[in-house]
Amino acid sequence: MHTLLIGLFSAGKTSVGEMLAAQLALPFYDVDRELEKEVGCSCGAYYKEVGEERFRQKESELFSEMLYRPPGILAPGGGIVLGPSKDLLKKCPKRLYLYYSLQEVLTTFSQRRIPAFVTDLESEYFKREPCYQQLATNSLVCDGLKIEDIVSQLIDIL
């Protein structure tokens, strides 16, 4: 079965997932990358073009397909918890939440790549954070941690 990494956009799911998968000798699957390959543009551009409902539907379809791939580390986009995939996410028995405090998000994430549709970090945080908490089988506080430290702690959890 897959291990799922969840968390806000720019939380490091892709970077952590690639490193974690490599250390565990597992495949790594990134929903956003697959979506971009399939639609031929960035997730942000596709979101702007088709709107949130169609974007989340496409994201859900891809995620559902990925569940049938060999077990590995699976990283969906941060907003997947807001779409029709919520119940599908529970098919992954290990759901690891890369948690960041609001203060860390406001100070650090503002310097990272943030999706164009996000106009207010704080409201996005409060909209998504309870969904991640409810879905997660384990949470890791990542404030101030390097990717290597996050991976090491996730290996301990697994």
The pLDDT assigned to 150 comes to 97
**CA 69 to each of CA 72, 73, 124: distance values in angstroms, whole numbers, following the listed order:** 8, 11, 31
Read off the pLDDT of each residue in 28-45 and give the average, rounded to a whole number: 94
Q: What is the mean pLDDT of residues 65-85?
A: 92
Residue ranges of domains in the chain: 3-157
How many Cβ atoms sit within 10 Å of the Cβ of residue 82? 16
Neighbours of 51 (CB within 10 A): 11
Average the pLDDT over 134-146 and give the result.
96
* Of 117 and 56, the one with more pLDDT: 56
Residues 99, 130, 66: CA angle, nearest 5 degrees: 70
Q: Is the pLDDT of residue 112 over 70?
A: no
Kindly report the CATH number that applies to the domain delimited by 3-157.
Answer: 3.40.50.300
Q: How far is CA 105 from the centre of its chain?
A: 15
pLDDT in tens, 1-11: 899 999 998 89
Rounded CA gap, 109 and 99, in Å? Answer: 13
Taking each helix axis from N to C end, the angle separating 31-39 and 43-66, rounded to the nearest 10 degrees, works out to 120
How many Cα atoms within 13 Å fall on the side-chain side of residue 156?
8
Q: Model's pTM, two decimal places?
A: 0.91
If phi over 0 gives left and psi between -120 and 50 gives alpha, with beta otherwise, what is residue 61?
alpha
